[in-house]
Amino acid sequence: MAMKLFDAHCHLQDSRILNKAPQLISTAFDTGIIRFAVNGVCEIKNFCRKIGIWLKKWIGLDKGSHGKKIDFVDQVEVFQQQLELAKELNRPVSVHCVRAYGDLLESMKSMGPFPAGVILHSYLGSAEMVPEFAKLGAYFSFSGFLMSMKVQKAKRVLKAVTSDRILLETDAPDAVPTSNTSSLFLVDGDKSVPEGINSKGENSSSNATVLSNDQTYASKDALSLPSLNHPANIHTVLSYVASLLDMTKEELAEMSYRNAVRIFSYEGSKVLEE
């Protein structure tokens, strides 16, 4: 059976790639990515209730460079209100967290558990926190950002996650993978791609090797990464995570797909349990 993948967190509605979304989806679909969790924005509670099919999407806590623009006390207050709404409506939630995992765990403990599930997207917390988050209903989604973590630490984190709680994502157009960059898929028109490499994997440089026949980042010695992440690059995340878990890509793909279908199969969802 062909390998199936589910991108558990991406932003195909992002203005940087919106006009290219049909092309990106088509290419990704051709590589086996058949479902995407697109994290957009909806501020109207009543509208959400009216349309019925939705989940409480992207919320969280951020002590990074972007989050510092907003008072952290205010962040926590709003975050807890959003968690309460997710519980009230029995919907899963995708959580963004930057340098605030202790605060996140404290907030979730004060309000949990969360039977509908909480996706810790692009998880970069510690291995020690994994069991505590899991008790509250958390799933752990890994993206190209995991490659910024030291390999042994990343391996400990992954090994701490049980097989029924692991998810894969791209966070496209962000989180460009930094491992195995010679096989990255490109977003057409990405101006950061080194000269001589184009969006179809063709090149005019003698030091480049094409490893795929469709939208591949193929320069052996390129010093910079693309600025835009393609949803098909979940394959690079898959390969990296599978290698650290000492399992085959096929095993991890099946496991993560099954987990994603489970958490996104809330009442009214278009994703049905398989």
For helices 101-111 and 72-89, the axis angle rounded to 10 degrees is 40
Can you give the three-state secondary structure of 35-80, one letter per residue?
A: EEEECCCCCCHHHHHHHCCCCEEEEEEECCCCHHHCCHHHHHHHHH
Q: How far is CA 183 from CA 15, 17, 45, 223, 236, in A?
A: 25, 20, 42, 15, 8
User: Is 121 annotated as a binding-site member?
Assistant: yes
Cα separation, 141 vs 144, in Å, equals 10
Closest CA to 123 of 133, 108, 115: 133
| 96 annotated among ligand-binding-site residues | yes
Annotated binding site: 96, 121, 171
Annotated binding site for a divalent metal cation: 96, 121, 171
